[in-house]
Amino acid sequence: MAYVATIGFFDGVHLGHQFLLTSLRREASQRALKAAVITFEQHPRKVLQGASPALLTTYSERTDLLKQQSLDEIYVFQFDVVRDMTSSEFLHLLRERCDVRVLLMGYDHQFGSDGHKSLAEYQSLGKEAGVEVLPITQAPEGDVSSSKIRRLLLTGDVCQANAMLGRPYRVQGTVVHGRGLGRQIGFPTANICVDNKDKLIPKDGVYAVQVTTADGCPRKAVLNIGTNPTVGGSERTLEVHIPDFSGDLYGQPIIVNLVRYIREECKFKSTDTLRKQIQQDLNCLNE
């Protein structure tokens, strides 16, 4: 089966990626070919430098999002297997193993161990391998990139990050036992152990979020990321308070979609002052 394909790590599967994938599907349809993505399980930087940037999406999240893009095939390569291939060798691999006939390249994309090349050079090498290389223009949304979204989340600008993602930023994990201090002040919290250590955790602070628990029901909630300095905390945690929820969540999966940043985490003079502030935070959920 012959394909039109594109290559990328696609962290976040953001609007820029979605523009590229729409172009991919259109090109494949016009040529009566199938649409495929070539991606990697590990971030290339983790293989090349020993550490990757904090990720917007885990491997499972990323593949689930790609599957929603109406692709015919998703090829997942191990980057350490192909890292030393030249551009020519990699193009031959795509043709011989995946039957790629056309390769769409984003405006800032390069591949091959033999250094950055111009589009004309890739096209010449592609012709030798039997792969037509075509450029894709930048998305009309402008400068949308995974690195820019990471910077936005690390400064608390969730709204702009969500706009670039085309959906709320998500953190998911398992509810674990904490110190129980939230319950003592009248606002019980679910402590979240994030499933993947490479997942980007946004800036410390208080967020309006939507959570989905094991029952599949989405609920408005408030998330605190930080060390809880008012009650003598020192370890960074993620704790979510779900208003009017009384079920037992321990050991259960939880999904947290960040809606917007409310305020910075700070140390209050007393638990009474903290209690009043939390109530104000909860009032923000209805704004």
Q: Which helix (H) or strand (E) holds 68?
A: none
Q: Where are the domains of the chain?
A: 3-135, 168-286
Q: What is the chain's Cα-based Rg?
A: 22
Query: Could you identify the residue written with the tokens 């033999």?
Result: 114
pLDDT score for 232: 66
Q: Which residues contact 178 (CB under 8 A, 6 or more apart)?
A: 189, 191, 237, 239
CB 226 within 8 A of CB 261: no
**What is the value of pTM for the model shown?**
0.91
Tens of pLDDT, residue by residue over 184-237, are 676 888 899 998 889 999 999 999 999 999 889 999 999 999 987 776 667 899
pLDDT score for 137: 73
Give the DSSP letter of residue 236: -
pLDDT score for 235: 85
What is the distance between the alpha carbons of residues 115 and 110, in angstroms, rounded to a whole number?
A: 8
What is the distance between the alpha carbons of residues 272 and 263, in angstroms, rounded to a whole number?
A: 18
pLDDT score for 247: 80
**HSE of 190 in the Cβ direction (CA atoms, 13 Å)?**
29
pLDDT score for 50: 82
Looking at the DSSP bridge assignments, the partners of residue 102 are 4, 132
Mean pLDDT split into 10-residue runs, the chain, 287 residues? 95 94 95 97 87 92 97 95 93 96 86 84 95 82 86 97 97 86 74 92 97 92 88 82 87 96 87 85 85
pLDDT score for 195: 84
Which has the closest alpha carbon to 174: 241, 236, 254?
254
Domain 168-286, CATH class in plain words: mainly beta
Tens of pLDDT, residue by residue over 60-80, are 999 999 999 999 999 999 999
pLDDT score for 139: 63
pLDDT score for 141: 61
What is the distance between the alpha carbons of residues 84 and 101, in angstroms, rounded to a whole number?
A: 23
Pick the CATH number of 3-135 from 3.90.550.10, 1.10.630.10, 1.10.3720.10, 3.40.50.620: 3.40.50.620
